[in-house]
Amino acid sequence: MIAKISRGELSAKAQIILSGSSNTGTTSSMVAAICYAWLLENREKEQGGSGVVAPVVSMKRGRMLKQKQAAWLFFHLGIDASALLFSDEVDLEGLMLARQLSILVIGQDVLKTNSEVGSLCTVLTDNYCEEAYDLLETPNLKKLLLAGILLDTQNLNSAAKFFTNKDAEAVQLLLVGSAPSQRHELFEQLMQDHRESTFLEALRQNYGKPFNEDNYGSGESREQRTSTTKSASISPQEVNIPTTAKQKPTPAPAPAPAPTLAPVKAQEIASRGKNKFFLAKWFGFGSK
């Protein structure tokens, strides 16, 4: 829908819910953007509107390789990462200039905590209770919001910088129907450095090929990673060949094969060549 509006194929107005800056907590801000967009979308449908509401993560898709906490949460809940939009995949500037877009920034325009609560997701949980309580029956939505609150408040730790009774009340509400231990289990899982092969493969497929072990956790040695990044045409077998063997002259070497390009998403092609981070100077986002 966003792509159709960008191409002029659909005469509708889009409302973008942009996740906030790193100051608002990266994972919880993403969660808040996704869940708030869902709330607005359902409100729009109830009112018979035809507008498009979409959450956009305020960073490049490739940056998720360094946000393994959020990536694991989406993977754990079975969220289709290919359906998530990132700021390098949407022509926000073009849509704004064409007056086809309005933007709400999490933590600035909406869901302000104002020191009354410790988490953006607590404010959002209150909104769901008031406007669309039935949506809180959705298990994945409850787990997303619960994860956001637990991360922002360090699992309701009284020593945390921001923590109020409202946060604790929101957690209790989100835990209704769940085992009492789910809160602690989920928080412990979020804080782990996940290196399961299935998750790491999903990370690669959904967010791009990593450049080093810090981003991906592939277990390769530093020398292997360095050799791999120098040339995409080097095979994994060649990476392990000793340096002295590589330097021996070989007669009439065959031409190097052309590098294989990774598949590119359609929205990425459409959005290249433009400044996707023009909003940074407005909202204080760094180059992410």
166 is a domain residue:
yes
Q: Which domain holds residue 273?
A: 2-197+265-283
The CATH number of residue 110's host domain is 3.90.1640.10
How many Cα neighbours within 13 Å face the side chain of 30? 27
211 is a domain residue:
no
**pLDDT digits 0-9 by tens, 256-288:** 443 333 333 333 333 333 343 333 333 344 444
- pLDDT at position 208, please? 87
32 is a domain residue:
yes
- pLDDT at position 22, please? 58
- pLDDT at position 270, please? 38
28 is a domain residue:
yes
95 is a domain residue:
yes
- pLDDT at position 91, please? 87
82 is a domain residue:
yes
**pLDDT digits 0-9 by tens, 241-259:** 333 334 444 444 444 443 3
Provide Rg for the chain, Cα atoms: 22
CB within 8 Å of 53: residues ≥ 6 apart: 14, 15, 17, 37, 40, 41, 44
* Confidence tier at 69 by pLDDT (50, 70, 90): very high
213 is a domain residue:
no
Strand order in the sheet with 101-105: 85-86, 52-57, 14-18, 101-105
126 is a domain residue:
yes
Highest mean pLDDT among 67-71, 93-97, 209-213, 278-282: 67-71
Q: Are 162 and 168 in contact (CB under 8 A)?
A: no
Total domains, the chain: 1
Q: What is the mean pLDDT of residues 50-75?
A: 92
Average pLDDT, the chain: 76
**pLDDT digits 0-9 by tens, 174-193:** 999 998 899 999 999 999 98
The residue type found at 43 is: R
Q: What is the mean pLDDT of residues 193-220?
A: 74
